[in-house]
Every structure is written in structure tokens, then in C-alpha cells.
Amino acid sequence: MSTLTSRRTRTMRVQTGLPMLILVAVVGPLLVWWGGYEAAHAAGLAGTPGTVKVASCRTVPQPKGSYIGCTGVFRSTDGTVTDPAALVSSPLRVAPGSTLDVDRTGAGDYGRISLQRAVGWFALLLFGLSMACMSPAGLLDRRGSARAANRFGFAVLTLFVGAAVFGVMALVLSFTML
């Protein structure tokens, strides 16, 4: 009777654990890609970095709230790209004539280059990396290699702590810097 119960329990674990393992194995790398892409743009490492000389700022309404959009002239750092009608979102209204450090993506969209944005996206990257490391730990634990699973578990815990630290840093920077 006890072997029947243990088989049922094991079957239930496999039925619930395997889909979760697959979900984590897919979502983790997607978060790593998205966080890395956005962090690189927020730090000015990807795209075309440059400045926008602000001509005016206005509130742009959207279906869910609104944002402050500043228009002006974009000039790339190397001087090869200019755009006279650049639109950049800003957390606050910026005085006309001031400059904003921005990064231009290939589609002509602009994002502000700032430490707080880069740190926030890096926190997401670390969280995705910790999720991506969970799937090998789960597979190793399934096969009975407890020592290797513990090592992966420690790596996952370290990445979670790193993601939490960078998340708190992003939160603190969002209140102290603009």
C-alpha cells in the first residue's frame, strides 16, 4: 500500500513540477534578453547615444494616464545623425534650451540615458538569470544529484539577492536623481 501512495505522490510531483520547470526555462531567458536590451540602451551602450536640445515640453494624454513629452533637436555624439523632431519622455518638465542625454534606437524612438534606468533594468536581467538557473537546478534535483542541485540552488539564491539589491538601488535612485 505504501508503494502505491509513493507512486501517486511522485506522479503528482511530475505532473505539477514539469510544466513549472518548462515555464521557468522559457521565461528566464526572455527576461535576461529584455533586461539586457533595455539596460544597454539605458546606459547608452547600444543604439545611437546623443543629446536632445529641448524646444518644448507638454503633457501627452494616453488611455491609461499621461506622460510628459519633450520635443527638440537630436544630435548624435559623433555628429553623424540629427533629427529636428525628436520626442523624448521625461519624468518632469524640462526648461526649453536645456539638453537631455538620450539614446536613439533603430526605429527612431528615444530613451533617456540614466543610471537609475540602467540599474532598474539590470535588476530585471539578474532576476531573469536567476530564473534561468532554476531549471538546471530542478533537473539535477530530479535525477538525484543533490550536491549539484545545491550548488545551483546557491547560485540562484545569490542571483536573487543581487536582483533585490539592484532593485532597491533603482528605487532609491528614482527618488534621489532625475
Query: Residue 151: which domain range?
Result: 26-42+117-176
Kindly provide the residue ranges of all beta strands, DSSP E only, lying in 32-175, ordered along the sequence.
48-62, 65-76, 82-90, 99-104, 110-112
Q: Residues 69, 93: one domain?
A: yes
Any idea how long the chain is? 178
Say whether pTM exceeds 0.85.
no
Q: Residues 35, 80: one domain?
A: no
* Residue 176: C-alpha distances to residues 90, 160, 171 (Å): 15, 24, 9
Q: How many domains does the chain have?
A: 2
* Domain boundary residue, one of 65, 88, 112: 112
The span from the CA of 24 to the CA of 20, in Å, is 6
Q: Answer whether residue 28 shows pLDDT above 80.
A: yes
Higher pLDDT, residue 108 or 99: 99
- pLDDT tens, position by position, 55-91: 998 888 888 878 888 899 999 999 888 999 898 888 7
- Note the pLDDT of residue 95: 86
Q: Residues 127, 162: one domain?
A: yes
Q: Answer whether residue 14 shows pLDDT above 60.
A: no
Q: Which residues pair with 50 in a beta bridge?
A: 76, 102
In a domain, 98, yes or no: yes
C-alpha count within 13 angstroms, C-beta hemisphere, residue 109: 8
In a domain, 3, yes or no: no
